[in-house]
């Protein structure tokens, strides 16, 4: 989907409804979101479930800028030379047409997380973003090489938790969903 203004689907709403009861005990005080419509709607539904918390846009949480590849499928790209360049260096090669490299996305998302950490000031916060930006945050917290980001599964409508203590990040869990059997589907 990339940065296209795709709304939250009915399936996404159902996933969120299943997850919502697990959020109340977490003591969430702040909600930060990518401004893209599907993320913003997710954050607003969470806020409503938690009693009307303010939803704060954080542009640094936006999905990867796929530029010329936006809306294309892998079969559409297989014969493009830019796709083969990307396959050779998937982290450092910007997406064609003015897009970002994954290293640039990492730097953008890490800066956003720094702003969120400062703004939250020790309070529990929810961050609503997209697959690759969230994988990059988790890679950073786990001190994993960014090249391994695809080893981390981040499903739509799933919850991961990170506790920050100073400069230390402890990953509490990754990709928690109430429908455990569906997590194993490929």
The residues spanned by each domain of the chain are 10-65+104-183, 66-99
The Cα-based distances of 91 to 21, 87, 144 in angstroms read: 37, 9, 14
Question: Strands, E, within the chain: which ranges?
Answer: 28-33, 55-57, 124-128, 159-165, 168-176
Q: Which of 3-17, 42-56, 168-182 has the lowest mean pLDDT?
A: 168-182
What is the band of 179 on the pLDDT scale with cuts at 50, 70, 90?
A: confident
What pLDDT score does 176 carry? 93
The superfamily CATH assigns to domain 10-65+104-183 is Phosphoglycerate mutase-like (3.40.50.1240)
- Does residue 180 register a pLDDT over 80? no
List C-alpha distances in Å: 138 to 25, 87, 103, 145: 23, 22, 14, 11
Condensed to tens digits (0 to 9), the pLDDT of residues 67-85 reads 999 989 989 999 999 998 8
DSSP 126: E
In which region does residue 98 sit, left (phi positive, over 0), alpha (psi from -120 to 50) or beta (all else)? left
């Amino acid at each position: 989907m990339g940065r296209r203004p795709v709304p939250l689907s009915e399936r996404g709403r159902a996933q969120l409804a299943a997850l919502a009861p697990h959020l109340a005990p977490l003591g969430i005080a702040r909600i930060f979101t990518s401004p893209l419509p599907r993320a913003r709607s997710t954050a607003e539904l969470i806020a409503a479930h938690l009693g009307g918390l303010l939803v704060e846009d954080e542009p640094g949480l936006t999905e990867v800028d796929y530029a010329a590849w936006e809306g294309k499928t892998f079969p559409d790209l297989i014969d493009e030379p830019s796709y083969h360049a990307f396959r050779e260096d998937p982290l450092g090669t910007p997406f064609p047409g003015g897009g970002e490299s994954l290293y640039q996305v990492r730097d953008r998302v890490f800066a956003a997380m720094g702003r969120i950490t400062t703004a939250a000031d020790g309070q529990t916060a929810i961050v609503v973003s997209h697959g690759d930006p969230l994988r990059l945050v988790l890679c950073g917290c786990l001190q994993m090489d960014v090249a391994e980001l695809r080893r981390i599964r981040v499903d739509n409508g799933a919850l991961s938790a990170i506790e920050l203590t100073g400069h230390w990040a402890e990953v509490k869990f990754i990709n928690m969903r109430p429908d455990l059997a569906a997590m194993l589907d490929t």
